[in-house]
């Protein structure tokens, strides 16, 4: 049992993907949550530099947004299963959670 203040209960938006086994329940760890957030910040910061060509900056920004979305879903003790479309689903779910 975790006593983290970061961990949230799954919302109604997350219950259906969890029930259909698109999302899997994972053991929550605050360090892992911070790592997701750190990866997002580093990728988004790197996407702003002129060191990369525009396509590289786009890809870094996309990776940063994806890491942030994974962090959002992870904060509910869930992660997508590795299957086709899981990246798009994670991004969609994170934006639904923002609503």
Q: pLDDT of 19-64, one tens digit each?
A: 888 899 999 999 999 999 999 999 999 999 999 999 999 999 999 9
Domain count within the chain: 1
Nearest to 21 by CA among 90, 84, 65, 81: 81
Domain residue limits at 52:
27-98
Does residue 19 sit within a domain?
Answer: no
Does residue 65 sit within a domain?
Answer: yes
What is the predicted pLDDT for the residue at 99? 65
Does residue 16 sit within a domain?
Answer: no
Question: Taking each helix axis from N to C terminus, what angle separates 12-19 and 86-98, rounded to the nearest 10 degrees?
Answer: 160
- Alpha carbon distance 84, 78 (integer Å): 17
């Amino acid at each position: 049992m975790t006593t983290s203040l970061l961990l949230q209960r799954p919302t109604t938006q997350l219950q259906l993907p969890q029930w259909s086994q698109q999302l899997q329940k994972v053991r929550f760890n605050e360090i892992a949550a911070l790592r997701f957030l750190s990866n997002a910040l580093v990728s988004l910061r790197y996407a702003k530099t002129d060191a990369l060509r525009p396509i590289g900056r786009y890809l870094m920004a996309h990776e940063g947004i994806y890491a942030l979305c994974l962090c959002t879903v992870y904060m509910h003790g869930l992660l997508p299963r590795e299957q086709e479309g899981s990246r798009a689903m994670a991004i969609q779910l994170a934006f639904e959670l923002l609503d």
